[in-house]
Structure 1
Amino acid sequence: MDTLMRQWNLLTLVPRLPAKKTTVRLRDELEERGYPTTLRTVQRDLEKLESEFQLSSDGNRPAGWFWPRDAVQFDIPGMSPYAALVFKMVRRHLGRLLPEACLDLLAPYFRQGDKILADIEPQPLATWPDRVAVLSRTQPLQPPLIDSQVLFAVYDGLLHGRQLSIAYRRRGEDQAQERIVNPLGIVVVDQTHYLVATFWHYTDLKQLAIHRIETAQVLDTAALTPEDFDLQTYVDSGAFGYPEGEELLSLRALFAPDPARQFEETPLSAEQKLSEQADGRILLEAQVRDTAQLRWWLQGFGAQVEILGPPGLREEFAEQIRQLAARYGCLFLR
């Protein structure tokens, strides 16, 4: 039984291409799971399993072991029809949000799920995806290309709490700079994947667009995590809204009746107030974070919104209108 469990765990530890693992690393990870063994035993196990399954090695010294990209996915217990439906929905509705490397990783599950749904009778689960549609109100953009080797290294470092040595090219720069980073979490904003991390021994948090990481290598050194860091708390703080200030804004804005109706069902904040004015417009009052994202959102309403306060925000919008008027050749009176 011990041999069976060791070999089964070994099969689950071998990654799918483009990732690979050496025999030494597989031995160490088996020991972490409670199956201590020798390097020679792991080598014999791999050679035996290679003849029975689709395992492969690259022939290097030390050899890197992997599952081919098109290897059949198998699990115990097998995938249920409901799990197959979930994978089909993920591919359909999250496909444009996920980088190619993620889709490649999930491809065997997608194929297995399609086969299971095609074989079941009756067919209500198989036809469910055709009865659900998801739309976004934002202008769709194509996701940036992410190097699959980089993505696997980032995931691996994050999963095992290890530092990464990366070459990162900031926006607008031609050359990438070498950095040692402590990976703390991944945040997906629209089409862009960000790595939340710190540099070297510093504690200030950075947001690194993963598609701008040109190379990444997992190091043996443990990642340093700032005390009391929590990814969800960091996201909820508005860090990805591009903060303009630390204090909350007391927003007062007049909206045309049609766009204002959405705030009755989807409030801007928990304590917002709506009141109809004499001219028919709706006054919205709410405490909101002072972010660039708030400004972009308000700008999207165009002439259907008038900012009343705070005064500084109103002046920002007035100055933008003056600049637009000049750019479009319109006469503007103060």
Structure 2
Amino acid sequence: YLAVEGYVYKDGMYWFYMEDREHFSVSFLELEPDEAAILYVMARTFVKQSDRRDALAQAVLLKMANIMQEDLLVSFGEHLTAAARELATQPEDADYEDVLRQLLRGYIYRRKLELIYHPYDGNEFKTIFSPYLIEPSGFGHALYVIGHSSIVDDIRTYKVDRIRHVRLRSRDQYTLPDDFPGLELLNNAFSIYHGEETIHVVLRFDSQVARRVKESNWHRSARFEWDSEKPGHLLLHMDIADTTDLEPWIRGWGASCEVLEPVSLRQKMLQETQKLMHLYELSAPSDDVNHDRFKDIFGD
């Protein structure tokens, strides 16, 4: 229990008291009813983005529910309790929860972490990591940690799901560099993949989805204009650092989204289309292609 609650930690064979814990507490938070409603919406957003059980999040939701039931509207408390129950129905992943707890403690108490990471492409490696930011992705139910990695002596972004093991180096503190930009680091990212240089992306959306696309602000650099060459079609301009997390978002629009720029991204989407044609047995010579079937899958 003491380890779960963060009072003690294990280093090798021995247990130690988390000395810094007594210096950290959350101040009393007084909210107006409409502010509490926003907190509820934020909680619901978190639950919808979660694909596994999270005991810490459940505890927070239940504490919020109890406070709101006593001090505000009972309905808010009931809805938060229901959100906690919904979260409890997600699959349990004890290894993931342990990794996340250690990451959070390293982040909160500014302690370095010894972790084993298994990248999507490549072999596992061990590194000493200083967590600077913990950031959720808007896509794919994923959580990332950004910080200094000793193996490259530079800033790296690691997906929490791919961290195989974490050990808190309880006596190895770190400080944030003076030049670390904080959340501004992600200004040029579509979601997570960041960088200083940007790529200009132009996407064309057909009339069936144009209004839906225009309803949202997809990126801080996003700019819309109606396509003069194709009436009813919408052009979306963005300047982003990397297209890695943009690509699945583009695929999600299917045949309603066409990549115009950059050429390299357009070519990549063309290759994806060719693979889909082969998957759906549309790779026959052009004279024998069933065009009606093609339209059913990819649209007009």
Fold match (TM-score > 0.5) = yes
Contact kept in structure 2, 1:19 and 1:149, CA below 8 Å:
no
Unaligned stretches of 5+ in structure 1? Answer: 1-13, 34-74, 135-140
Answer yes or no: is 1:322 the counterpart of 2:271.
Answer: no
**Cα gap change, 1:265/1:160 in structure 2, threshold over 3 Å: closer, same or farther?**
same
Equivalent position amino acid for 1:19 in 2: G
Aligned residues: 264
**Cα gap change, 1:286/1:147 in structure 2, threshold over 3 Å: closer, same or farther?**
closer
* Equivalent-residue separation in structure 1 for 2:225 and 2:212 (angstroms): 11
* Equivalent-residue separation in structure 2 for 1:77 and 1:320 (angstroms): 52
Deviation at 1:291, TM superposition (A): 0.8
Answer yes or no: is 1:220 the counterpart of 2:175.
Answer: no
Contact kept in structure 2, 1:245 and 1:291, CA below 8 Å:
no
Deviation at 1:321, TM superposition (A): 2.0
* Equivalent-residue separation in structure 1 for 2:66 and 2:100 (angstroms): 24
* Equivalent-residue separation in structure 2 for 1:303 and 1:199 (angstroms): 40
* Equivalent-residue separation in structure 2 for 1:229 and 1:80 (angstroms): 32
* Equivalent-residue separation in structure 2 for 1:268 and 1:85 (angstroms): 24
**Cα gap change, 1:145/1:79 in structure 2, threshold over 3 Å: closer, same or farther?**
farther
Deviation at 1:303, TM superposition (A): 1.9
Q: What is the TM-score when the length of structure 1 is the normalising length?
A: 0.60
Answer yes or no: is 1:19 the counterpart of 2:10.
Answer: no
What is the 5 A alignment of 1:96-135? 96-97=48-49, 100-106=54-60, 109-110=63-64, 112-113=66-67, 117=69, 125-128=73-76
Contact kept in structure 2, 1:255 and 1:284, CA below 8 Å:
yes
Equivalent position amino acid for 1:185 in 2: L
Deviation at 1:201, TM superposition (A): 7.9
**Cα gap change, 1:332/1:76 in structure 2, threshold over 3 Å: closer, same or farther?**
same
Q: What is the TM-score when the length of structure 2 is the normalising length?
A: 0.65
* Equivalent-residue separation in structure 2 for 1:267 and 1:77 (angstroms): 33
Deviation at 1:288, TM superposition (A): 2.7
1:260-309 Cα distance to aligned partner (Å, 9 max, x none):
11344335565624225465341415243241222222222222233333
Larger radius of gyration: 1
Answer yes or no: is 1:210 the counterpart of 2:160.
Answer: yes
Find the counterpart in structure 1 of residue 112 from structure 2. 163
**Cα gap change, 1:285/1:185 in structure 2, threshold over 3 Å: closer, same or farther?**
closer
Find the counterpart in structure 1 of residue 205 from structure 2. 255
What is the 5 A alignment of 1:163-202? 163-171=112-120, 177-189=125-137, 190=139, 191-200=141-150
* Equivalent-residue separation in structure 2 for 1:24 and 1:221 (angstroms): 14
Q: After the TM superposition, which of the residue ranges 297-306 and 14-23 deviates more from structure 2?
A: 14-23
1:135-175 Cα distance to aligned partner (Å, 9 max, x none):
xxxxxx9796554443333222212222122343444779x
1:82-140 Cα distance to aligned partner (Å, 9 max, x none):
59878766655533545513225426625633xx61x56xxx722247899x9xxxxxx
Unaligned stretches of 5+ in structure 2? Answer: 10-14, 84-89, 288-300
* Equivalent-residue separation in structure 2 for 1:327 and 1:215 (angstroms): 40
